[in-house]
Structure 1
Amino acid sequence: MVSFQQESDGDPASKPWYELGSAKHQGTEVTMARILQEQYPSHSLVLAHDVLYTTYTRFSILSMPGVEVELVSKPDLVVNNSFKALPRSAFVGTPGGDNVSAELVPSVEYGGFKLTWKDRHFLLYIVHFARGLSTNTQFFLLHDGPEEPSHQLLLAAGSYQNELHDEIWQFVDGFWQKSSGLWKDIQSANWDDIILESDFKAAVKKDVYGFFESRDMYKRFKIPWRRGIIMHGPPGNGKTISVKAIMKDCSVMGYTPLYVKTFKNFRGDEYAIQAIFDKARDTAPSVIVLEDLDSHITEQNRSYFLNQIDGIGGNNGILVLGTTNHFERLDPALSTRPSRFDRKFLFDDPDRPSRRLYVKYWQDQLAGSEDISFPEALAEEIADSTGKFSFAYLKEVFVSSLVSLLKEREEGHDVSFARCVREEIATLRKQLDKPQGPEVARNSQLAMVH
């Protein structure tokens, strides 16, 4: 068993590193490796580094479960802190009674650590330095024995970091990040709370989940196992909440949701598109989510995107899910060619039966409130008087009415829920600037453009 002793003069590698960091040099990794080999001649040395231009570490060795950590020399440790604002709901109280609205996120600039993992002992040095326009984090792992245990530790750390732990992969500013905030956000999405016509909702779910469940069928008939779906229609009618429900379900089912915020980054859209589809292929079965699809595709990146979605690199197990409020703005190469986006679902403003279904949802939600009267006559009136309202506007009717009702009663006014609802509908009608008139006859919400 190897035992580590605290160095009487501190960390033996710190002084040479400080000299290296303050002088003109090149080949930082080689120079530091030579320093460590001289300081620990009986140890094998394995180097590893984080991939350049990423915002998450590939080797979170210090925080990996099962690894015990001790400093080589605390005085020689250099830690840099960055500021991170917290949401108001996360404010924590301090002993002095103040609320802290932010936290400091530490990162190691230089440090030596003694590690114990699976009854084996290691030395880990972490150094952070500038390289061109970017920064680099380099790991030096020493073991008093062969290199293989160090390789095993690095593989375990990399595998753990590549897994999702209540997180969702999110692509933003040219980087893949693991977002716990997005994961938390989609947990509130449930199909039972999404008020869509039942056949329409079933068709959306069948198309998405049926794709992933039909791998053997695709293989049997030698059909490329890939698919594209577009959700389109005016804003506020359930596209985003449906996407969240799909991402939540796919995550639970073992299919990887990949959320793309933007293609924009300093290396160009083509790099972003390549990185997105590479990640989808690496994590397949996967679903690439492109909200506001029309804003992502431009004349400059169109050809490259079409090549990728056509599967020039092999897209087995990839579902591309796009949404848009402006279907007419989409390039015909996307909107009319089935092999790219095979199915289009129209999320239109709800017709009268759909509005009545949504009102019924709120009747059920408020059924236990003894101080709120919500008779059938009022439900029918709301469904009749909200023509041209989106689901978002309908939700606002109820939310604002309940807030207004509460405020009025707190001030001692005896007002009814019905009065508040009528006032909110009148207010929203003016904001909507869509004069109510005879509804155009149309099919049910199950409207698909092929």
Structure 2
Amino acid sequence: MASSSSFDDAFVKVWFDEGAKESGDNFYDEWHKLASAQHQEPSHYALHTLKKLYPNSTVTMSADSRVNLLNYPKAVKVPVKAAPLITNMFFVALSRSSPVPGLVVDSVELGTFHVSWGTHDFLLYLVKVPQGAFGSYSIYQYLIHDGPEINIRNLLVEVGVWSNALHGEIWVFTGSYWEKSAALWTEAQKANWADVILKDKFKTAFRKDIYGFFESEQLYKDLAIPWKRGIIMHGPPGNGKTISIKALIKECDARGLNPLYVKTFTGWLGEETAMSMVFEKARQNAPCVLILEDLDSLINNGNRSFFLNQIDGLEGNDGLLVIGTTNHLDQLDPGLSSRPSRFDRKFLFDDPDYDERILYGRFWQNKLSTNEEVDLPDKLLDDIATLTDGFSFAYLKEAFVSSLVLYAGLEGNKPSFESVIKEQIETLRKELNKFALRAPGQRVKQSTSKPPTPGATSSPVSLRDFIHRPVGGMSQADVKGLMDDLSATSRSPAEDYLRRSFVAHAPARARDLEAQKWEVACEKFKRDVEALSSFGPDGPHYVVAPVGSSNAEETKGNAMMPGAL
């Protein structure tokens, strides 16, 4: 009795033999005979075989994935019936919300197709050829045409141009290669500038700076200066940088400015090669917008010099607008953050002030205007804006979303929405206070709110006064004001020394404060201050909020005199 494997081999042999006899095409036989690792370059042998089969036709070869004819929608492709067609099936999982859980997709590994494009006809042989180790391979396309080679070349140019264009996609660099992301494009379409809750003056200035650059090419040329620009979006997390980037991607795409988005420079190619690929793509697509999100994590000591050379445009960066974002402007190299012609403008996306918190409340008021259960009057918006002083937009959003979810889940005799959201704000405030002491550049400060209570005045407290003032004579706001300021970017070597000393002990200080041991934290901080030998005549001054005031002003400090240490 014959084995099943012998039967299968016989079946395959008969099937392919019959196909070859019917078509008079023995390409499969030749391929099967000599492509099973018997030759170093089977692709060359395939080309040689086809030239023998079609001696009076033009025969070409291409392994460039950018000219994949099967993906090109403007050419008609029909499989040759008599020729073998080998496909590899694989499963693609879909989202749970999809009507079907997944699909089985066929990938052609060997096939022959009739191709029609315009007034020209071609024969396409497609084969999958192993390349090197680790299971890598290339798809080779062999085009046969009864006409001059220029017709094949023109077809491949059309396919390449279409393949390089964006079709509801965004170019994204992932560290080693560029890829088209339909997911990012789809996500960006949900963003609108109307949903970016920032002051109109700020949004107008930001957008004008971007689109004014692209409209000013002639002005740059008239002034004989390079037509390039850089912008940094900075500020604490959760305050609109990401949604602004999405709105920017959407608007730039609609204007044909080809936004390019960089995830990382880290990959197997190395960071310098990755940077070269990024800027080469940007120059090729100019005028365009190059987006570098989390700039402080992308640039490090190892790649800094190479990045500066690229952004300085030694090869020419005409028409290139580079937008970088960071939560830590103070951690950026001064060569990036402080030097014009690299990043010319900086836009601060800060914690919202009272007016912006009112704007955000009105955004939700409009969204809930048809909800009969949720009452959100102007008086409650005023209370929310006051209670959320120091909240980021992300924390504001969480206050509304968590309150609405909680309120919707309540049954029976529901409390008022006002009591629910105020309770949620109190919970978030406690969470926020746990992180009151942050790393440099992430200072938690009180935003400008309503005018301070009449009679409340700010008193300047110098570090020298702080050393000699007894703990009982200091308010907790005084101490935290000094601590927060020294966690921010310092302005002199002496302050920097003190800042680094303070930051090194910040976790312990935070634990002391969290445990209500603020006097212990105060004494430890005083010892840090005493480590400095002397100050200027008056010492650096810091304006801090008086006890009971909701308005802690921005730091106003005089730099220490040079050589104070």
Please state if 1:86 is matched with 2:94.
yes
Given candidates 226, 229, 233, the residue that maps to 2:235 is: 233
TM-score for both structures, normalised by structure 1: 0.89
Taking the aligned partners of 1:103 and 1:179, their CA distance within structure 2 comes to 20
Partner Cα distance (2:158, 2:421) in 1: 58
Give the distance between the partners of 2:260 and 2:160, measured in 1 at CA. Answer: 20
Q: In structure 2, what is the equivalent of residue 135 of structure 1?
A: 137
CA offsets 1:100-142 (integer angstroms, 9 cap, x no match): 1x33444322222111111321111222223235432222111
Tell me the residue number matched to 1:282: 284
TM-fit CA distance, 1:215: 0.9
Of residues 36, 45, 53, the one that matches 1:31 is 45
Separation of aligned partners in 2, 1:431 and 1:85: 39
2:119 aligns to what? 119
Range with bigger deviation, 369-378 or 11-20: 11-20
Residues 253-301 of structure 1 show CA distances to partners (whole Å, capped at 9, x for unaligned) of: 1101001111111111111101111111111111111111111112111
SS in 2 for 1:401: helix
Q: 1:245 aligns with which of 215, 236, 247?
A: 247
Deviations 1:64-94 (CA, angstroms, capped at 9, x unpaired): 22322111257722223444333333x223x
The equivalent residue for 1:96 is none
More strand as a share of residues: 1
**How far apart are the structure 2 equivalents of 1:373 and 1:227?**
47
Higher helix proportion, which one?
2
Evaluate the alpha carbon distance shift between residue 81 and residue 212 of structure 1 in structure 2; reply closer, same or farther with a 3 A threshold: farther
- 2:407 and 2:27 map into 1 onto residues whose CA distance is 69
TM-score (norm 2): 0.71
Q: Does 2:84 correspond to 1:70?
A: no
Percent sequence identity is: 48
1:60 aligns to 2:62 (yes or no): no
1:8/1:66 CA distance change after superposition, 3 Å:
farther
Query: 1:53 is matched with which residue?
Result: none
Q: Is the partner of 2:126 in helix, strand or coil?
A: strand
Task: Give, as a single letter, the amino acid of the residue that structure 2 aligns with 1:184.
Answer: T
Amino acid corresponding to residue 67 of structure 2 in structure 1: F
* Deviations 1:152-188, CA, capped at 9 Å, x for gaps: 1111111111111111111114111111111100001
Give me the whole-angstrom Cα distance separating, in 1, the residues matched to 2:303 and 2:90.
Answer: 35
Amino acid at match of 1:111: G
More moved, 271-280 vs 297-306: 297-306
* Structure 1 residues 186 and 65, CA gap change in structure 2 (3 angstroms): same
| 1:42-441 mapped onto 2 (5 Å cutoff) | 42-50=56-64, 57-73=65-81, 76-89=84-97, 91-93=98-100, 100=101, 102-132=102-132, 134-408=136-410, 411-433=411-433, 438-441=550-553
Using the alignment, how far apart are the partners of 1:272 and 1:135 within structure 2?
23
Cα deviations by residue, 1:383-438 (Å, 9 ceiling, x for unpaired): 00001110011111111111111111xx3242221122112112211222267773
Does the CA-based 8 Å contact 2:22-2:82 persist in structure 1?
no
RMSD (CA atoms): 2.0
Specify whether residues 342 and 377 from structure 1 end up closer, same or farther in structure 2 by C-alpha distance, changes over 3 A only: same
Q: Distance in 1 between matches of 2:207 and 2:82?
A: 55
Structure 1 CA distance, aligned partners of 2:367 and 2:158?
48
Q: Which amino acid aligns with 2:69?
A: I
Q: Describe the superposition over 1:332-353 as per-residue Cα deviations: whole angstroms up to 9, x where unpaired.
A: 1111111111111111111111
Alignment CA distance shift 1:271-1:404 (3 Å): same
Q: Provide the rounded CA distance (Å) in 1 between the counterparts of 2:131 and 2:332.
A: 41
Q: Is the 8 A contact 2:126 2:140 kept in 1?
A: yes
| Aligned partner of residue 266 in structure 1, secondary structure | coil
Distance 1:20 1:418, change over 3 A: farther
User: Which is bigger in relative contact order (C-alpha 8 A, separation at least 6)?
Assistant: 1
Q: Identify if the C-alpha distance between structure 1 residues 84 and 298 changes in structure 2 by more than 3 Å, giving closer, same or farther.
A: farther
SS at match of 2:386: helix
Task: Give me the whole-angstrom Cα distance separating, in 2, the residues matched to 1:75 and 1:398.
Answer: 64
Return the index of the structure with the highest Cα Rg.
2
**CA–CA distance in structure 2, aligned partners of residues 381 and 74 of structure 1:** 78
AA in 2 matched with 1:167: E
- Secondary structure, in 3 states, of the residue corresponding to 1:256? coil
Question: After the TM superposition, which parts of structure 1 deviate over 4 Å for at least 4 consecutive aligned residues?
Answer: 434-437
Match of 1:14 among 25, 28, 32: 28
* Distance in structure 1 (CA, Å) of the matches to 2:400 and 2:150: 63
Instruction: Tell me if the contact between 1:262 and 1:296 (Cα under 8 Å) persists in the aligned partners.
Output: yes
The CA distance in 1 between the partners of 2:325 and 2:26, in whole Å, is: 57
Equivalent residues, number: 422
Task: Tell me: CA distance 1:268–1:104, structure 2 relative to 1, closer, same or farther (3 Å).
Answer: farther
Query: How many Å separate the matches in 1 of 2:230 and 2:47?
Result: 49
Q: Which amino acid aligns with 2:391?
A: F
CA distance in 2, matches of 1:285, 1:406: 49
Given that residues 57 and 147 in structure 2 are in contact (C-alpha distance below 8 angstroms), is that contact kept between their aligned partners in structure 1?
yes
Decide whether the 8 Å contact of 1:46 with 1:151 is kept in 2.
no
Distance 1:115 1:331 in 2: 56
2: CA distance, partners of 1:79 / 1:244: 39
Tell whether the 8 Å contact from 1:387 to 1:439 is kept in structure 2 after alignment: no
Q: What is the distance in 1 between the residues matched to 2:160 and 2:430? A: 56
Evaluate the alpha carbon distance shift between residue 36 and residue 161 of structure 1 in structure 2; reply closer, same or farther with a 3 A threshold.
same
- The amino acid of 1:305's aligned partner reads F
Residues 27-76 of structure 1, C-alpha deviation per residue, up to 9 Å, x if partnerless?
333211101111222220122222xxxxxx30231232232211125772
